[in-house]
Structure 1
Amino acid sequence: MLAENPSIVVGPMVTNPGTRDWTVIASLFATLDEMYGPRTICGMGRGDSALRYINDKPTTLATMSEAMRVIKDLVAGKTVSYNGKDLVIPWAEGWDLPMWGAGYGPKALTLVGEQCDGFILQLADPYLVEWTTKFVKDAARKAGRDPDAVKICVAAPAYVGDDLPHQRDQVRWFGGMVGNHVADLVARYGSDESMIPKALTEYIKAREGYDYSHHGQVGNPSTDFVPDEVVDRFCVLGPISEHMRRMEELRDLGVDQFAIYLMHDAQEATLDAYGAEVILALQ
């Protein structure tokens, strides 16, 4: 992909510090930057689904923070202390690897604002985009950073079409996926709306567990609790005109990038519609 397109930028959305060694992640990005120039971004999270699937727990935010620092420094050609040893990638030419952090809760959003080059939010609800983005920007400002330098990426399913009930059923899995993160936040913060907006927590009251073997799949039986209203808010559905309206709305909220999740039965048609109409209209 990098070889065929000289302007594209790539990266995971997201990797984590628990299932891959930090030095392997750093070596991967240093290699790609060595081969194709600095056209990579490292999206980082705590490893919710990846670690829970193997019966482990997500890493702590402190571990996520340290991993981002070590990986970024290694790609930059700096010496780091890792696992009790000083390490350096001797051939790394000093690339500045952008680190983008994902999260929903106050502590994760604060970490992103204090340390990350970008923020990844997995949902397209304008109200929640505005709330989380403000949290990140405020944290950056308090840390003495330029809040406008922190890029904002919204990632969510998009499905172009006219059969709204069918579209909803195809992407209902996404509300269940987000619900796992929300359940963790509710367990920690309860119903304190100053910490977590009701718009994010209300819908998981009917949630009854989650089977990670169906994670991210259409027809996931663990996501039947997700109502249509939440699907409509979290995802981008309907005809092309609605997609353009939602993209303009997100842009007005300061979103720099929209990443499409194409796990449904109209992948090519949706991607073609964005390439032919949505992207051109927003340029």
Structure 2
Amino acid sequence: MDFGLVLQTDPPASAVVDLMRRAEDVGFTHGWTFDSCVLWQEPFVIYSRILAETRHLKVGTMVTNPGTRTWEVTASTFATLNDMYGNRTVCGIGRGDSAMRVAGRKPNTLARISEAMKVIRALGRGDEADLGGTVVRFPWVGEGAEVPVWMAAYGPKALKMAGEEADGFILQLADLFLTEWMVKAVRDAAAAAGRDPSEVKICVAAPAYVTEDDSPEALAHAREQCRWFGGMVGNHVADLVSRYGAHSGMVPDALTDYIKAREGYDYSHHGRTDNPDTAFVPDEIVDSFCLIGPPSAHIEKLNALRALGVDQFAVYAMHDAKEAVIDLYGRDVIPAVNA
């Protein structure tokens, strides 16, 4: 199993670079960041530094969207980084939650994501792409270049599209039941489209907080450090409920039931442990969506995720123990999972 580190690009950017370098040194293979240009610093500028100061680490967006940048700009940025440092990027893409809403726009449609994925992938490998009546090609992209495009999804239509079109699927939660349900939906869609389902990479991304033991006090602190994640996922779940209904059968009740007490969301606290809009998230959701507890608990859940077909686990490190979780994963977790 591959392991990734997910960070927000808070200043100073040098701290993001240092953490990514630290992660590679202990066995992480991927470095991901949010892409929401109002809330955080520009990730692609920082990727260039990360790639220059690491040897093999791949970097990518978790996630960009097709609305805040034109598609040829996104493709060119990834392709330029690959030309400078080798094929070491992944374009993670989704509808655009915070990036679009903070700017006063609605998240992108699935049709727009589909068109963007085709353009970014084609231009990134040096092929022609149609930008809506104008066909373009990057003449400077060398042979063998590629920009894999991984799609974030939760709902049935998005999961189907990920299986049919994306190079990878990003699932932002680590609940075992929901992971099994969604991975099956993606792989069934890939098979129905004539693709080899195993070629669609599966990446589960969630907070991980390692405690010294499983005492009530240690677990309580870990939950408070990770509760924000249930609020973030709740934004996407609320969209699904408004589209399909709370008990439509289209989306598992295990995903939708917990947002009944959700009242709103302030993006100024997006992805932060001090987010005041996450009190509605119960402990059970924190425990199922995240990985908390001593190393043995992480190893057990990661092995279960791998058995469900997960190729990569990406650690959201938005809490008070960033360095500790990197080091403990490198020392105790990654070697045990990949023994």
TM over 0.5: yes
Number of the residue aligned with 2:194: 144
Q: Return the match for 2:169 from 105, 110, 119.
A: 119
What per-residue deviation string (whole Å, max 9, x for no partner) do you get for residues 148-171 of structure 1? Answer: 111100000000014111111111
Partner of 1:173: 228
- CA deviation string 1:48-79 (max 9, x = no partner): 11101111100100000100111111111122
Whether the 8 Å contact between 2:126 and 2:137 is mirrored in structure 1 is yes
Q: Corresponding residue for 2:74?
A: 25
Q: Deviations over 1:119-175 (max 9, x none)?
A: 000000011000000000010011111111111000000000141111111111100
Aligned residue among 227, 236, 246 for 2:291: 236
SS of 1:250's partner is helix
- Whether 1:70 aligns to 2:125 is no
Identity of aligned residues (%): 62
Q: Deviations over 1:178-199 (max 9, x none)?
A: 0010001011111345310011
Query: Higher relative contact order by CA 8 Å / sep ≥ 6: 1 or 2?
Result: 2
> Any residues of structure 2 matched to 1:20-99 within 5 Å, and which?
20-94=69-143, 95-99=145-149
**In 1, Cα distance between equivalents of 2:177 and 2:65:** 27
Aligned-residue Cα RMSD (Å) equals 1.2
Distance 1:86 1:251 in 2: 41
Instruction: Confirm whether residue 253 of structure 1 aligns to residue 301 of structure 2.
Output: no
Number of positions where the alignment pairs a residue of Structure 1 with one of Structure 2? 283
Task: Specify every segment of 5 or more residues in structure 1 that has no aligned partner in the other structure, as ranges.
Answer: none
Q: CA deviation at 1:83?
A: 4.7
Q: Which of residues 193, 201, 214 in structure 1 aligns to 2:256?
A: 201
CA contact (8 A) 2:63 2:92 kept: yes
The match for 2:273 is 218
Distance 1:92 1:46 in 2: 27
> Following the alignment from structure 2 to structure 1, what is the Cα–Cα distance between the partners of residues 73 and 63?
15
Instruction: Give 2:154's aligned residue.
Output: 104
The aligned amino acid for 1:177 is M
Quote the residue 2:184 is aligned against: 134
Name the residue aligned to 1:275.
Answer: 330
Q: Which residue is 1:5 aligned to?
A: 54
User: For residues 201-243 of structure 1, what are the alpha-carbon distances to aligned partners after superposition, in whole Å with 9 as ceiling and x for unaligned?
Assistant: 0100000011111110112111110000000000100111111
Show the counterpart of 1:184. 239
Question: Retained in 1: the 8 A contact 2:209–2:325?
Answer: yes
Contact 2:246–2:257 (CA under 8 A) maintained in structure 1: no
Displacement after TM superposition at 1:44 (Å): 0.6
Q: Which string of whole-angstrom CA distances, capped at 9 and with x for unpartnered residues, describes residues 9-39 of structure 1? A: 2111111101112111111111111112112
Partner Cα distance (1:63, 1:88) in 2: 20
